[in-house]
Amino acid sequence: MDRTEALLIADLCEGDETALAPLIERYKRMVYRLAVQITKNRADADDVMQETFIKVYRSIHTFRKDATFETWLYRIAVNEALNFVKRRDRRRECTLEGASEVDYESTVRHSAQVANDPHAQAEKSELRQHVTAAVNSLPLKHRTVVILHEFEGLTHAEIASILNCSEGTVRSRLHYARKKLRILLKPYMDARTI
């Protein structure tokens, strides 16, 4: 944690609300990225972002220096997003999650048919969509670990701390997720674009 950030946090602890804006500016993209990836819905991600930063604002005094602010923020954002998804699923509201799964399945079938077409294989954008859809099709727990490890670059220990589970659990979920992704992405592994 650099000094500027430490000062901002100290000021926020003192009740200086203006210190929140620079912190938001610094971490907004990270929180947004996480929120969208976990909720798979940009509108829901907006809610998660707001809840996350409001929680930061209200709970900054509980932040202890035994962890970095970034890890602490990760923990809040991830848990907010996970709780949001759980609440949303409980309510059984019509969300894009169900739609995305359906879209993903149809996309995979379609891709399997066109996989023989060398022109289609060459399309990087299509490959990107398939990879993204494959990640989105993972169960929530496994998707979260993949996001934190593969895209956010966090270690197993950091993920375990954020998710409040053991490192063994993190390792197991990651292993399962990779195996599933390997099966899903197998048709695209021989593409010339990779």
Partner 1 sequence: MRSKCEKIERLVSDYIDGRLSEKQTADVTSHIYSCGSCKREVAELKKTKHLLKNFYIEPEAPDTYYAQFATQLRQRIEESAPTAPHQRIAAALTRFGWQLRTQMYRYTDYFRLSRFISIRQHALPYYILALTMLMLIATPFLLTQFPLENRNEHVHSPSTAVHSGVTLAVEQENAASHSINTRRNLNSERTTEILAVDSGSDIWKFTNDRVGDGYIFTTLEKKDSNTVPSVALDIDSELLTYAEFPTQDATSERLMGRDVLTDRRYALLLLRGINTSQHARQQYQRKRSEFRGFSHKLLDVPLEMMSVEVGYDLIEL
Positions in the binding site for partner 1 (CB under 8 A): 13-15, 17, 20-21, 24-25, 28-29, 32-33, 36-37, 42, 45-46, 49-50, 53-54, 57, 61, 64-65, 124, 127-132, 135, 146, 150-151, 156, 171, 174-175, 178-179, 181-182, 185-186, 188-189, 194
Q: CB-wise, 61 or 92, nearer to partner 1? A: 61
Taking the complex as a whole, the smallest distance from the CB of residue 90 to partner 1 amounts, in Å, to: 24
Q: CB-wise, 57 or 165, nearer to partner 1? A: 57
Q: CB-wise, 79 or 136, nearer to partner 1? A: 136
- Tell me the HSE value of 84 on the side-chain side, using a 13 A CA sphere: 27
Taking the complex as a whole, the smallest distance from the CB of residue 131 to partner 1 amounts, in Å, to: 4
d(CA 169, CA 67) in angstroms, rounded, equals 21
In the chain the first and final C-alpha atoms are separated, in Å, by 37
Q: CB-wise, 92 or 120, nearer to partner 1? A: 120
Q: CB-wise, 7 or 194, nearer to partner 1? A: 194
d(CA 186, CA 19) in angstroms, rounded, equals 48
Which residues have CB under 8 Å from 25's CB, separation 6+? none
Taking the complex as a whole, the smallest distance from the CB of residue 184 to partner 1 amounts, in Å, to: 9
Taking the complex as a whole, the smallest distance from the CB of residue 60 to partner 1 amounts, in Å, to: 9
Taking the complex as a whole, the smallest distance from the CB of residue 32 to partner 1 amounts, in Å, to: 6
d(CA 98, CA 77) in angstroms, rounded, equals 23
Q: CB-wise, 145 or 163, nearer to partner 1? A: 145
- Among residues 130, 173, 127, 166, the alpha carbon closest in space to that of 150 is found at 173
Taking the complex as a whole, the smallest distance from the CB of residue 101 to partner 1 amounts, in Å, to: 17
Residues 113-118: contacts with CB under 8 Å, at least 24 apart: 115/187, 115/188, 118/192
Structure tokens at 177: 């997720």
- Among residues 128, 129, 146, the alpha carbon closest in space to that of 38 is found at 146
